[in-house]
Structure 1
Amino acid sequence: MPIDSFVISIFLMLTFGRLLSELCCRVGVPGVVGEMLAGLIIGPSILGWVHPHNTLSVLAELGVILLLFDIGCETSVKRLYHASGRSIWVALGGIIYPVVIGGASAAYWLNLPPFTALFFGCALTATSIGISIRVMTQAKQGQTLAGQVILGAAVVDDIVGVVLLSVLLNFNASGTLSLVSVLILVMKVVGFVFLAPPMARMLIYLFRSWYPHSKSSGFEVFVVITLICLFAWLAHWVGAPALLGGFAAGMALSRQFVFPTNRYLPNPFPFTHKLEVSAKPLVDLFSPIFFVYVGISVDLSQLDFTVSGLVVLLWLALIAIVTKLASGMAAKGPLRRKIIIGSAMIPRGEVGLVFAEMGLQLGIIQPKLFTEMVLIIAISSIVGPMLLKWSLKGQTVLHKKP
């Protein structure tokens, strides 16, 4: 992408994203909805000012990695551990329902061959951690039990989604299914999730020992970007989503970080707090770029605008929403909490788009199905936050009652 096209694209994405985000917040709609609508407006679907491009896609993924870093900084490992049992059941529902119901529905209504329908169903297993947790955080519910269950289930869904994607791509390329390669991939991803935070924590101690005397050196930003880039690369290297690397680096900064070495090493909270504060402007600047890019990725010109075509699309979008909402019913507690958890599982976001993009590049899906998948992902990413915000509003009211 030429530099002039790149800079004007970023200008339009940031400007329209901020304007529509602020507008949505003023009328009580989550800001992420405004950012995705901004992408729809400036993208190929309406004005055609900005088009999907690999450069913008990479920048959008960097925004998600930074957002997950910020979420990791606020994550309580103890609460995440205590919520893990509940998260597993929610995650299983969020995988099985979309694969079985979503895949079968796509095969029937879109006349897809079995493998393509399976790919479609697997793409719907994704859950966007960034979208849902951002809404939860804005409502000051990120550290509640529901927030931790959502985070744990979304992480499991994304890990399983990556494994499913790798298996499907391997089968598409070779025509055979290797159980050994699948097991190796699972072991690498799970090992990374457990080992990366303490590794990042040890690096933080090392960086603290190198702290320069100059106060204007920008050392904190250097450390943050270094950690995020390193662990995002390591996550990608082991076959996990790069955004999990950002999350792992953020967990290492958390004041609630728990590891056996805590007995022997003092908590570096003053230093980690400086790192977290220095990263905040980067998160606020880059994370909206991803949500705007989701809207840009939608090209309505590929859509079947006949009555039957629109009905089928809306029906599949409804199935995508309901199958994830139903996963929240596996959580324990009152119905309100189950609705909150199920609503947070609805947005597909970045991992779903990765599924669609890889399927298009490798010829598993055709451009028309790609557009329909992206639009379903976009619809889920809009409906999910709106339903989540509504359910959280009810939760807040309940908390205020005596």
Structure 2
Amino acid sequence: MPHPGTLILIMAIAVLAPLLAFATSRRLSVPVAIFEIGLGILIGPDVLDWAHPSQLINTLSNLGLSMLIFLAGYEIEFDAVRGDTLRRAVTAWVVSLATGLGIAFALTGAQVTKSFVIGTALTSTALGAVLPMLRDSGVLRTRFGTVVMAFGAVGEFGPVIAMAVLLSGRAPGAATAVLAAFAAVTAGAVYMALRPPPAWFAHVITATLHTSGQFAVRLVMLLLAAMLGLSVAFGLDTLLGAFAAGLLTRLVLRGAGPENSEEVLGKIEAMGFGFLVPVFFIVTGINFDLHALLDGGRPLLLLPVFLLLFLLVRGGPAWLLAPRSLSRRERTSLTFYCATCLPLVVAITTIGVSDGAVEPSEAAALVGAAMLSILFLPLLALKALPTGRARPSIGTTETSESW
């Protein structure tokens, strides 16, 4: 089928998925991404064989993934995510990476590249998928929501860094040097973003916010394109640029037009969650190798194993290193949220398959486990979270906690 027909099917699913999520919400809260992926599998080559992605659709899907990571980067509040909580989050992720790589080396018989792919995939957290759930449940701006944001941000950013070092094809020293150069350029951009903007800047944002000019939206898209281009120029994964663009956008908008920042974000979210992000999830379903997962027993057996490893490798260190101020039930909820993954698992396994490091069946098992994680673990996290009690939100300071 030519790509216009496939694109129409994709957009029809994008409309149908939230309707199904809404219809089931009274009995079961199912993330809309699950319906998007599931329906994508249904119309894909392995089931109905109605949809076949073209270069255009794959490009839109890649933009959707970049937008998802960009929005995750934007959500991070620097005033809240810092201090002891951030140190704990970083330490937990480092422990996850060491554990994940160790388990992967044991599972693969010390196959280096395959171990890097599997081990890195086990350390990711789908912050872009978790944050809307936290927002919808009303806990995003609470103390607990801030902790999840910190651990999730590191779980989103850390694997991207690991991909750049371990899966770039460069020697670790060369990859680290490239990352350092990228970080230096990004730091310069952050410095510029923190400088007081000229007086006309905020005025133009306000004056064009409801006109065809849309200066702020166009500026955000320029920042995203520039950071994506910068990451490509350095030979790094574009997800690193997307995440950095989100961080920069928050600094620019909060500094130049704080009274309009939420409205600008709403416009960007409409573009992302209304179009590009659904395309990414639906195309993920279309490209999902269902036959590889179901043919033979090993891949299907690996699926629950990988799901258990997500909980052990990513969730276990989060439980152990969570701030002491969290209750036991909040720690349990944090564990489930941290083990929720998908977008980066898709990205990492795609790189692994294209490089010949992992088999399509193994990649399908990893992605299938990630799909189950995003379906069930947030539900368990919500059930574990104490009800009827609001924790105060974090302001601009954080009380230091002892280790």
Residue 88 of structure 1 is matched in structure 2 by 90
Residue 79 of structure 1 is matched in structure 2 by 80
Q: Match of 1:223, as an amino acid?
A: L
Moved more, 206-215 or 117-126: 206-215
Distance in 2 between residues matched to 1:327 and 1:129, nearest whole Å: 17
Per-residue CA deviations over 1:299-328 (Å, capped at 9, x if unaligned) read 211235444553244323322333222122
Matched, 1:230 2:242: no
Distance in 1 between residues matched to 2:205 and 2:130, nearest whole Å: 36
Residue 217 of structure 2 is matched in structure 1 by 221
Residue 41 of structure 1 is matched in structure 2 by 42
Equivalent pair of 1:102/1:319 in contact (CA under 8 Å): no
Residue 149 of structure 2 is matched in structure 1 by 151
Distance in 1 between residues matched to 2:101 and 2:22, nearest whole Å: 36
Residue 281 of structure 2 is matched in structure 1 by 291
Residue 251 of structure 1 is matched in structure 2 by 250
The equivalences for 1:219-368 within 5 A come to 219=214, 220-238=216-234, 239=236, 241=239, 242-252=241-251, 255=254, 268-286=257-275, 287-307=277-297, 309-329=299-319, 330-333=321-324, 334-365=327-358
Distance in 2 between residues matched to 1:37 and 1:237, nearest whole Å: 35
TM-score normalised to structure 2 length: 0.79
Distance in 2 between residues matched to 1:182 and 1:312, nearest whole Å: 31
Alignment RMSD, CA only?
Answer: 3.3
Name the SS for the 1:269 alignment partner: coil
Name the SS for the 1:44 alignment partner: coil
Distance in 2 between residues matched to 1:307 and 1:179, nearest whole Å: 36
Per-residue CA deviations over 1:268-294 (Å, capped at 9, x if unaligned) read 323434422332421331322223233
Distance in 2 between residues matched to 1:379 and 1:188, nearest whole Å: 35
Q: CA deviation at 1:14?
A: 1.5
Q: Match of 2:88, as an amino acid?
A: R
Distance in 1 between residues matched to 2:266 and 2:382, nearest whole Å: 27
Give the fraction of aligned pairs with identical amino acids, expressed as a percent: 19
Q: CA deviation at 1:194?
A: 4.6
* 2:171 pairs with one of 163, 178, 183: 178
Residue 14 of structure 1 is matched in structure 2 by 14
Q: Match of 2:266, as an amino acid?
A: V
Distance in 1 between residues matched to 2:56 and 2:249, nearest whole Å: 25
Residue 398 of structure 2 is matched in structure 1 by none
Distance in 2 between residues matched to 1:198 and 1:228, nearest whole Å: 17
Per-residue CA deviations over 1:76-95 (Å, capped at 9, x if unaligned) read 21111133112112212332
Distance in 2 between residues matched to 1:21 and 1:200, nearest whole Å: 39
Equivalent pair of 2:148/2:334 in contact (CA under 8 Å): yes
Matched, 1:130 2:121: no
Per-residue CA deviations over 1:307-357 (Å, capped at 9, x if unaligned) read 455324432332233322212222123222222222222233222222222
Identify if the C-alpha distance between structure 1 residues 200 and 65 changes in structure 2 by more than 3 Å, giving closer, same or farther: farther
Identify if the C-alpha distance between structure 1 residues 94 and 59 changes in structure 2 by more than 3 Å, giving closer, same or farther: farther
Equivalent pair of 1:36/1:294 in contact (CA under 8 Å): yes
Name the SS for the 1:78 alignment partner: coil
Equivalent pair of 2:69/2:243 in contact (CA under 8 Å): yes
Equivalent pair of 1:317/1:379 in contact (CA under 8 Å): yes
Equivalent pair of 1:231/1:248 in contact (CA under 8 Å): no
Per-residue CA deviations over 1:139-162 (Å, capped at 9, x if unaligned) read 222233443333333443444433
Residue 99 of structure 2 is matched in structure 1 by 97
Q: CA deviation at 1:397?
A: 0.9
Equivalent pair of 2:142/2:390 in contact (CA under 8 Å): no
Residue 174 of structure 1 is matched in structure 2 by none
Residue 263 of structure 1 is matched in structure 2 by none
Distance in 2 between residues matched to 1:46 and 1:204, nearest whole Å: 54
* 2:138 pairs with one of 134, 140, 143: 140
The equivalences for 1:192-231 within 5 A come to 194-200=187-193, 207-208=201-202, 210=204, 216-219=211-214, 220-231=216-227
Name the SS for the 2:140 alignment partner: coil
Equivalent pair of 2:330/2:386 in contact (CA under 8 Å): no
Residue 264 of structure 1 is matched in structure 2 by none
Distance in 2 between residues matched to 1:118 and 1:212, nearest whole Å: 47
Name the SS for the 2:123 alignment partner: coil
Equivalent pair of 1:43/1:51 in contact (CA under 8 Å): yes
Per-residue CA deviations over 1:234-280 (Å, capped at 9, x if unaligned) read 3444425233134224422564x6xxxxxxxxx63234344223324
Q: Which runs of at least 4 in structure 1 moved beyond 6 Å after TM superposition?
A: none
Name the SS for the 2:81 alignment partner: helix
Q: CA deviation at 1:198?
A: 4.7
Identify if the C-alpha distance between structure 1 residues 23 and 42 changes in structure 2 by more than 3 Å, giving closer, same or farther: farther
Equivalent pair of 1:76/1:143 in contact (CA under 8 Å): no
Identify if the C-alpha distance between structure 1 residues 396 and 37 changes in structure 2 by more than 3 Å, giving closer, same or farther: farther
Gaps of 5+ in 2: 392-403
Distance in 2 between residues matched to 1:9 and 1:198, nearest whole Å: 44
Identify if the C-alpha distance between structure 1 residues 301 and 233 changes in structure 2 by more than 3 Å, giving closer, same or farther: same
Equivalent pair of 1:102/1:320 in contact (CA under 8 Å): no
Identify if the C-alpha distance between structure 1 residues 192 and 101 changes in structure 2 by more than 3 Å, giving closer, same or farther: farther
Equivalent pair of 2:165/2:176 in contact (CA under 8 Å): no
Distance in 1 between residues matched to 2:330 and 2:185, nearest whole Å: 30
Moved more, 321-330 or 79-88: 321-330
Equivalent pair of 2:293/2:361 in contact (CA under 8 Å): yes
Q: Match of 2:211, as an amino acid?
A: S
Distance in 2 between residues matched to 1:78 and 1:150, nearest whole Å: 15
Q: Match of 1:62, as an amino acid?
A: L
